[in-house]
Structure 1
Amino acid sequence: MSSRTRALLDQVVSDLDQVLSDDALAGLTDAERVEVLQAASAAFRRVEAVVVETIAAGDAVDFPHATGCRTQNELLQRTLLTDVREATRVGKVVALVRRDVNLVSGDRLPARWPALREALLDGVIGVAGMLAATEPIEKVSHRIGAADRLDADTCLARAARGIRPDAEAGPDGEVRGPAPTLDELKLLAETLVALLDPDGDGPGDEPARRRGITLGRVRDGLRSIKGYLTPEVAAQLELILDALNNPKGDGPPMPGVAFTPAADRGDAEDGDAADGDEDPYNSDPRAVIDDRTPAQKRHDALAAALAIAARHRDMPALGGAAPVLVVMVDANDLVNGTGRASVSGAWGQLPLGVASHVGCSGTIQRVLLDEGRIIGITTTDRVFTVHQRRAIIARDRECLIPGCHVPASWCEIHHVTEHARGGPTHTDNGVPLCWWHHRSLGTSGWEIRMNDGIPQVRGPRWWDPAQQWRTPRLSASAQGRTRRPPVFARAG
């Protein structure tokens, strides 16, 4: 840069250093703080304009290469000390205001958005404002002409400067007011889209082309998922999540849990508790059964839906078999309860408990390695057969945890006595648990045992201070007067 440009920017930095020195901002009144924020905002937008115009004035390819960077994005990351996302946002604005050179005359051509470019250089809007004003129209730019885009450019730039039509002053009247927020500027752009493109998207048009799902990298033990669904696919997903979270179909279940004491099971004619028996747990006024947020419930419902889809007979094979989640863990770590587990793409990122949960209802295959060479493979079958699963579903009907109404057919089958501790893969040792309760069983306070092949549960102390083992059953109101097998009693 020229010595004058560098000197001016150095002076700006020096002035800002003075503002930040000696706790100068600590003694301001509230009104003075607002003034400082407004002045800093104006300076911030002009700094952004300097960055954008500096990049836009150079060659899109040669300039980054001349600095030793592969791309413009890398150059922005290194010089601005920012991340990929923010560098990408700046790069988008650079493309909107770049003025290419006429190969014949050598003159600079107008920018794609000339009026908004001037607003950017004047400090009226910054990078975020530029994107808010242009992105809605850029999405439909293939369906509107250049003249309409330039008219929208003029309209949006005037609005960004606070210039609005004044109906009382005539057709050409205008009035100046406060600058719009970014949301208001974006709303105006979307309104212009509705006027310039009244027919909207047709079948197979831009929204359908933008559909997609992206899985992010593992960060803090989780992977992000983001993307766009077509409306009908989103509606189907919502129905599935609603069905899993509220499978009764006629509204959410009433809070409360009904029990039959194990000693009294079968005394009544139809398996219900005898008339007049009072159990304080027939109605739990606290109704503290599930403390998950709605978003967490949707996640767990999606996890259950994926598990159901993976084992469905119509699911296409992958590598000659149904899609199988393979969780890898060192055998010694699994025995000792230490270390980490992993799946493809997330090595060493999963808690060891994930391997335990998967192994509870799946197959453990041990692969012996010697300096990288496979020298042995052994398989332990821990999967309940389809016939065993049907029997357990018929017996238990729902997730065994009281208050959870996920149908047993949607649940995972849990070994009450762990297979590693000698527990057999037998109907007398299997109970249905939904995805969430299966994974939280070790920390939620709920306990399960089998009493002569009959499942019994004991709740956490806040829920049942007496800490009694109880045989849950489906409520009489849910089953009518139909006789139930005497070996079955459930939570309702």
Structure 2
Amino acid sequence: MLEELAQAEAAVADCLDAPTWALPEHDLVAALDAAHRLEQRLAAVKLALVRELDGRGTATAQGASSTAVWLRDRLRLGVGAARRLVELAATLDAAPTGVRDALAGGAVDVEQVRVIAGTVETVHTAAGAEAADKAIGVLVDWAAQFDATLLRRLGTRILDHVAPEVADAAAKAAMEAEARRACRDRHVTLSELRDGRLRLSGILDGEAAGLLRAAIDPLTAPSGPDDPRSPGQRRHDALADLCRLALRTGELPEHGGEAAQVVVTTSFDPLALRLGAGTLDTGLHLTPETVRRLACDATILPAVLGSAGQTLDVGRQRRLFTGPLRRALVLRDRGCAFPGCDRPPRWCDAHHIRHWADGGTTSLDNAVLLCGHHHRHVHTSDWAVRLGRDGHPEFVPPAWLDPEQIPRRNHYHLRT
């Protein structure tokens, strides 16, 4: 396989250097069709490889919390794209042979495969294997004319074509299957931008969509006839208001051993003089005006570090990392420090580099922030943890994974 893929890669590289300007229009169109078919066939190969790696547990053996996280690092994908790749590989593996053959032959694309597989599963449940086989042929033919969105709509009435005697009963089953898919596909993704802002995206199921609209709509109305905000800006501000309201209730569960809170780090004297900027525990910098506004809110916890009496080393007197010591650890590590992990601080435990039971102290110099998965992994594997010369944690992989045992660091959390 490696040899064949190398030859294919070389052929594609040759195509990149081809003078497309010299081709007549009908050849350009034919080349586009051929490139699209090749893309789908390569997708089939890629999905088969992902499915095999997932089945072997390669990701967890190499220290990743899941195959999706491992793919994100290996292929430099967004974590959402990596998860979809793993899910689609499983879907294709369980799909009928005809669906896999259609993708391998370049007749359908990966999104159409997702639709066809789900529709055929519904038909099989409602009308049996014979009707499901007929549905594959019909749906593949339709896929030559319609994209995945239209194919999904047409698929809701597929039984009218392949098993009309059970179509009405199956319409109800299809609705229930759609509800299950909505439940499975629900997600919200928070993607951190370079300047510390977040891009919010996701898919809500019907119930959550109704709850969000009921909660957010009263807060999105213009503040007056001269409100300069766009509808999108008003929705943004309404979501922020919802979060403030939730924090003020005091009913949110604890995270990382502390009550839900926003931690702002600054110096006291510049803050008093209205000159000091601040930093959230996520690494985002705030203007002096914003810091002072947050400090005035009794439900927001201002964290002023470095002042007299702030003890960051409690030695052997205390085993747990709490209060100022934990906040200092969060400010240093920003989240799980294991290489490749993007889990935020509130999902993490404080790990003693030299174990407490072995005489290790509860201090910033003997601590590293780890999510639950990597905390367990470090305790049960041959990975070694230490602080580098700059005071930030680094991880030495076991020899079987890297014979040179070159230290690795987490590059997903911003350093400030």
Q: Return the TM-score normalized by structure 2.
A: 0.55
Match of 1:244 in 2: 219
Counterparts of residues 420-439 of structure 1 (less than 5 Å)? none
- Residue 240 of structure 1 deviates from its aligned partner by 4.1
Counterparts of residues 61-76 of structure 1 (less than 5 Å)? 61-62=55-56, 64=58, 72-73=67-68
Q: AA paired with 1:222?
A: R
Match of 1:188 in 2: 154
Cα 1:27/1:340, change in 2 over 3 Å: farther
- Residue 329 of structure 1 deviates from its aligned partner by 2.5
Inter-partner Cα distance in structure 2 for 1:150 and 1:333: 76
Inter-partner Cα distance in structure 2 for 1:87 and 1:371: 47
Q: Secondary structure at the match of 2:172?
A: coil
Q: Does structure 1 residue 358 correspond to structure 2 residue 294?
A: yes
- Residue 297 of structure 1 deviates from its aligned partner by 0.6
- Residue 207 of structure 1 deviates from its aligned partner by 7.4
Q: Does structure 1 residue 43 correspond to structure 2 residue 38?
A: yes
Contact 2:95–2:117 under 8 Å retained in 1: no
Cα 1:89/1:12, change in 2 over 3 Å: same
- Residue 238 of structure 1 deviates from its aligned partner by 2.4
Inter-partner Cα distance in structure 2 for 1:131 and 1:213: 17
Q: AA paired with 2:190?
A: G
- Residue 41 of structure 1 deviates from its aligned partner by 0.5
Q: Does structure 1 residue 34 correspond to structure 2 residue 29?
A: yes
Inter-partner Cα distance in structure 2 for 1:332 and 1:34: 68
Inter-partner Cα distance in structure 2 for 1:91 and 1:317: 33
- Residue 123 of structure 1 deviates from its aligned partner by 1.5
Q: Deviations over 1:363-416 (max 9, x none)?
A: 8675654595179x9xxxxxxxxxxxxxxxxxxxxxxxxxxxxxxxxxxxxxxx
- Residue 93 of structure 1 deviates from its aligned partner by 3.4
Contact 2:68–2:82 under 8 Å retained in 1: yes
Q: Secondary structure at the match of 1:341?
A: strand
Cα 1:122/1:317, change in 2 over 3 Å: closer
Q: AA paired with 2:125?
A: G
Contact 2:265–2:280 under 8 Å retained in 1: yes
- Residue 179 of structure 1 deviates from its aligned partner by 3.3
Residue of 64, 75, 92 corresponding to 2:87: 92
Match of 1:161 in 2: 141
Cα 1:77/1:233, change in 2 over 3 Å: closer
Q: Which runs of 5+ in 2 are unaligned?
A: 160-166, 314-322, 324-416
Residue of 6, 10, 18 corresponding to 1:14: 10
Q: Does structure 1 residue 342 correspond to structure 2 residue 280?
A: yes
Contact 1:115–1:154 under 8 Å retained in 2: no
Cα 1:52/1:146, change in 2 over 3 Å: farther
Q: Secondary structure at the match of 1:328?
A: strand
Cα 1:227/1:367, change in 2 over 3 Å: same
Inter-partner Cα distance in structure 2 for 1:86 and 1:215: 11
Counterparts of residues 120-199 of structure 1 (less than 5 Å)? 120-135=103-118, 145=125, 148=128, 151-152=131-132, 154-162=134-142, 178-192=144-158, 196-198=170-172
Counterparts of residues 95-110 of structure 1 (less than 5 Å)? 95-98=90-93
Percent identical among aligned pairs is 21
Inter-partner Cα distance in structure 1 for 2:6 and 2:104: 19
Contact 2:116–2:139 under 8 Å retained in 1: no
- Residue 308 of structure 1 deviates from its aligned partner by 4.1
Match of 1:327 in 2: 264
Cα 1:77/1:240, change in 2 over 3 Å: closer
Cα 1:300/1:85, change in 2 over 3 Å: closer
Contact 2:216–2:238 under 8 Å retained in 1: yes
Contact 1:341–1:352 under 8 Å retained in 2: no
Q: Secondary structure at the match of 2:198?
A: strand
Q: AA paired with 2:150?
A: E
Contact 1:327–1:342 under 8 Å retained in 2: yes
Cα 1:161/1:9, change in 2 over 3 Å: farther
Counterparts of residues 363-382 of structure 1 (less than 5 Å)? 369=307, 373=311
Larger C-alpha radius of gyration, 1 or 2? 1
Contact 1:55–1:94 under 8 Å retained in 2: yes
- Residue 300 of structure 1 deviates from its aligned partner by 0.7
Match of 1:219 in 2: 193
Inter-partner Cα distance in structure 2 for 1:338 and 1:137: 61
Instruction: Kindly report the root-mean-square deviation, in angstroms, between the aligned alpha carbons of the 2 structures.
Output: 4.6
Number of aligned residues: 296
- Residue 79 of structure 1 deviates from its aligned partner by 6.6
Match of 1:296 in 2: 233
Contact 1:160–1:180 under 8 Å retained in 2: no
Inter-partner Cα distance in structure 1 for 2:181 and 2:142: 32
Contact 1:214–1:226 under 8 Å retained in 2: yes
Q: Secondary structure at the match of 1:125?
A: coil
Cα 1:223/1:50, change in 2 over 3 Å: same
Q: Secondary structure at the match of 2:229?
A: coil
Inter-partner Cα distance in structure 2 for 1:157 and 1:361: 63
Inter-partner Cα distance in structure 2 for 1:230 and 1:114: 31
- Residue 118 of structure 1 deviates from its aligned partner by 1.4
Inter-partner Cα distance in structure 1 for 2:279 and 2:60: 45
Q: Secondary structure at the match of 1:327?
A: strand
Q: AA paired with 2:280?
A: S
- Residue 198 of structure 1 deviates from its aligned partner by 1.0
Structure with the bigger percentage of helix: 2
Match of 2:331 in 1: none
Q: Deviations over 1:217-260 (max 9, x none)?
A: 53332234455656455435424433233379xxxx6x4xxxxx
Cα 1:86/1:207, change in 2 over 3 Å: closer
Cα 1:247/1:297, change in 2 over 3 Å: closer
- Residue 330 of structure 1 deviates from its aligned partner by 3.0
Contact 1:212–1:228 under 8 Å retained in 2: yes
Q: Deviations over 1:185-236 (max 9, x none)?
A: 222334449863515667xx84796597646253332234455656455435
Contact 2:264–2:303 under 8 Å retained in 1: no
Inter-partner Cα distance in structure 2 for 1:367 and 1:77: 35
Inter-partner Cα distance in structure 1 for 2:54 and 2:92: 12
Inter-partner Cα distance in structure 1 for 2:77 and 2:304: 46
- Mean Cα displacement is larger for which, 366-375 or 352-361? 366-375
